[in-house]
Structure 1
Amino acid sequence: MKGIFSIFRKDDKAFTGLESAIVLTAFVVVAAVFSYVVLGAGFTTSDTAKKTIDEGVKQTTSSVEIAGDVIAKGTASTSVDYLIVTLQLTAGQSPVDIGANNASGLMVVSYTDNATYNPRVDWSQSFIGASDGDNVLEQHEKVELNITVPAGAMLKTPATAVNKEFKIEIKPSVGAIVPITRVTPPQIDAVMNLK
């Protein structure tokens, strides 16, 4: 009898291999779950980074640009009362809602010279050329801003209106600020092209 049961002797070799296979399978499953979590977090982070980069590019690139010259309108050969600037979209930019006028607050124009700073001057707009009738500046449209020089500015004073440097900043609702710096001519006329 002893010979028959000798084939059932205690041998742990097979169990050791089976236990190793189970442990190896557990490691593979844990590694797969961990890699899935890490990849998911990476995709979420990269998507958030992409949105941040896109928003940053949109805010730092200029949405509008000057189309043509800056025109100054004077009265009585002594002062500059209005500045006319024509704007268009820069290439590849999305449409910009500029609002109906200064009161809507979508686009702000500020004025600066060496004696005056006005963060929000009055302006009006009129689309020139092709336009679809709304207040949104779109591709192939141009808008003319008629900017009122603020009271008390050097350009409004007869003795200081000539040869004076001033700066206008056009601040659209989206995109970078468009700075415009010009100098008035030595003689004030009814219409002046400020190059």
Structure 2
Amino acid sequence: MRGWRIVKDERGFTGLEAAIVLVAFVVVAAVFSYVMLGAGFFTTQKSKQVVDTGVKQASSSLTLDGQYIYLNCTSDAKGTTGSNGKVGEIYFYITQTAGGVSVDLNKTSLAIASAEGYKQIFYNESATAGTNASWYYECVKGDNDNTVEVNEKYKIVIDLYDSTGSSLWDTIGDLQPNDEITIEVKPPVGAPLTITKQLPPSFTNLTYV
């Protein structure tokens, strides 16, 4: 009687088994692809946030409405006129830039520089016009709150002297004819609005430059 002999034969590997193996490979590849896509989407989102933040920090949300700033040289503003005059008050109008973000003026600072010095002052919510308010704002067009939003217009007033006539800007001196001044409006987010002007050789009650 002849003994049994085990013979290695792969002819029993059926199509069903091949399909199972193929499906397993496909599932593993799909899971791996999903993980890679998820990581890619996350990276793209973070990159977009970084770019958006960079744009907000690099661009200003405020712009000068019109091209002029106005110099009040009347005696009521503690100014004087003529070729030896001095500026008592400066005012100008601002609005939001196209695509800019809203700006909270209560959190905004203002700086002014002349040949004699530089001064930065933060907004004082408790101060009002004529009561030691170094600068203040008035809503010209909008909902009359403290935020500059789309299609709104605000007047910024810089009072160079207080009610007793003492200069609040001792570090920059009196602003006189032919002086050059630079004003910066610095919002809490974004680049400042910078205005540089050469003052005229003589002042009238209201001079614009």
Q: TM-score w.r.t. structure 2 length?
A: 0.73
Q: Which stretch shows the higher mean deviation, 12-21 or 112-121?
A: 12-21
Contact 2:57 2:190 in 1 (8 A): yes
**Per-residue deviation at 1:64?**
1.3
Report the AA paired with residue 151 of structure 1.
D
SS at match of 1:163: coil
SS at match of 1:119: strand
Report the AA paired with residue 157 of structure 2.
N
Contact 2:115 2:172 in 1 (8 A): no
SS at match of 1:133: coil
1-structure distance, mates of 2:36, 2:8:
45
Work out which of the residue numbers 132, 138, 156 in structure 2 matches 1:126: 138
Name the structure with the higher helix share: 1
Report the AA paired with residue 110 of structure 2.
V
Unaligned stretches of 5+ residues in structure 1: 100-105
- 1:31-81 CA distance string (max 9 Å, x none): 222111111100111111112222222232321111121001221233212
Q: TM-score w.r.t. structure 1 length?
A: 0.78
Distance 1:22 1:186, change over 3 A: same
Work out which of the residue numbers 85, 88, 93 in structure 2 matches 1:86: 93
Name the structure with the higher strand share: 1
Report percent identity of matched pairs.
Answer: 37
1-structure distance, mates of 2:80, 2:9:
115
Contact 2:119 2:171 in 1 (8 A): no
2-structure distance, mates of 1:76, 1:67:
26
SS at match of 1:43: helix
Q: CA RMSD in A?
A: 2.9
Q: Which stretch shows the higher mean deviation, 42-51 or 185-194?
A: 185-194
Q: Which stretch shows the higher mean deviation, 62-71 or 49-58?
A: 49-58
**Residue 70 (structure 1) aligned with residue 82 (structure 2):** no
- Tell me which residue corresponds to 2:206: 191
- How is 1:34-183 mapped onto 2 (pairs within 5 angstroms)? 34-68=32-66, 69-74=68-73, 75-77=79-81, 78-99=85-106, 106-120=107-121, 122-128=134-140, 130-149=141-160, 150-154=169-173, 156=174, 161-183=176-198
SS at match of 2:39: helix
Unaligned stretches of 5+ residues in structure 2: 74-78, 123-133, 161-168
1-structure distance, mates of 2:149, 2:8:
86
1-structure distance, mates of 2:156, 2:8:
97
